[in-house]
Amino acid sequence: MGNYEITEEDVRILEAWSGHKKTNMEWKRTKQLDLNGKSINTIPCNINKLQNLEWLNLTANFLEDIPKELTKLPKLEHLYLQDNCFGEFPENVCEISSLKYLDLAGNGIVYIPEQIGDLEKLESLDLGHNILSKLPDSFSKLTHLTSLHLCYNEFTDMSSICNIPFLTTLYLENNDIEEIPDEIANIRNLEILNLSNNSIKRVSLNLNNLTILIFVLGNEKNILPLSSNYMVKRIKYNHGVPLSKFQTQEELDQFLSLILN
């Protein structure tokens, strides 16, 4: 068991880093810390003294890595690291087993390590505005993950995404995806699917087996005149032929071939 007593020296370091003035006891009791846009480029090693920290916002700073000490916060559930300077996925994050919400959007990340599967409690993950083209197989271990944001990346297909069975919300707008594959049926609880601004040319009829409440497929890159199915509440840019009209995949493919040629 480590020594997590907060000394006067710890207070001095934490105050200089965060700009927040607190007593020893106040730091010890701190549950939330908002450091959005503070021009921070490092995280102090004594961050592990904040044993009650549950919510940490480090958005819009200049961080390039995550110290091991951040993984020693047993109650940390919300971690916001959007718009920093990582350039690659900070693997130490995968050791914060308590995480439920993680935001790493806008960090120039090219790949995700297999260790992401260790975040077994993760419920929401934002990886938008990066340079990703696939996800590792270990995503299938994230059985609590229900919300995934992958907008503004470089995905050309959904094969690595359809292995995440418990998603309810999936944002894939502004990629270069060309088809909605048959494996979409694996995401059986999907309620919100945003594929606007892709290059969709083929739609699997298996989409008709999902109870999607909000389906966004449209504007200048997507020109398919299709609407979704069942309890659709809102459809943007797309008020065309319902998928339920087609009895077979061949019928749907032929229809799309006529429209796109």
At 227 the three-state DSSP class reads: strand
Query: Considering the domain boundaries, does residue 240 fall inside one?
Result: yes
Q: What is the predicted pLDDT for the residue at 218? A: 60
Kindly state the DSSP code that residue 99 receives in the 8-state scheme.
-
In a domain, 67, yes or no: yes
Residue 104 lies in a domain: yes
Looking up residue 188, the CATH number of its domain turns out to be 3.80.10.10
Give the CA-trace dihedral at 252, 257, 260, 261, to 10 degrees.
Answer: -160
- Count the domains in the chain: 1
Taking a C-beta distance cutoff of 8 angstroms, is the pair 68, 45 a contact?
A: no
Question: Would you state the pLDDT for residue 244?
Answer: 67
Residue 64, in any domain of the structure: yes
pLDDT of residue 106: 98
Residue 83 resides in a domain: yes
pLDDT of residue 20: 94
Is 1 part of any domain?
A: no
DSSP 45-93: GGGGG-TT--EEE--SS------GGGGG-TT--EEE--S---SS--GGG
- Closest of 216, 195, 206, 199 to residue 243, by C-alpha: 206
- Longest Cα separation, the chain: 73
pTM of the shown model? 0.87
Amino acid making up residue 232: V
Find the domain containing 216 and state its range.
8-260
Encode the chain (261 residues) as per-residue pLDDT tens digits.
568 899 999 999 999 999 999 999 999 999 999 999 999 999 999 999 999 999 999 999 999 999 999 999 999 999 999 999 999 999 999 999 999 999 999 999 999 999 999 999 999 999 999 999 999 999 999 999 999 999 999 999 999 999 898 999 999 999 999 888 989 889 989 888 888 888 888 888 787 777 766 666 665 454 444 444 332 333 333 445 666 677 777 877 776 666 555
Contact (Cβ atoms closer than 8 angstroms) between residue 124 and residue 102: yes
**Tokens coding 254:** 């032929």
Q: Taking a C-beta distance cutoff of 8 angstroms, is the pair 131, 152 a contact? A: no
- Residue 3 domain flag: no
Query: pLDDT at position 208, please?
Result: 75
Phi/psi at 142 (5° precision): -85, 75
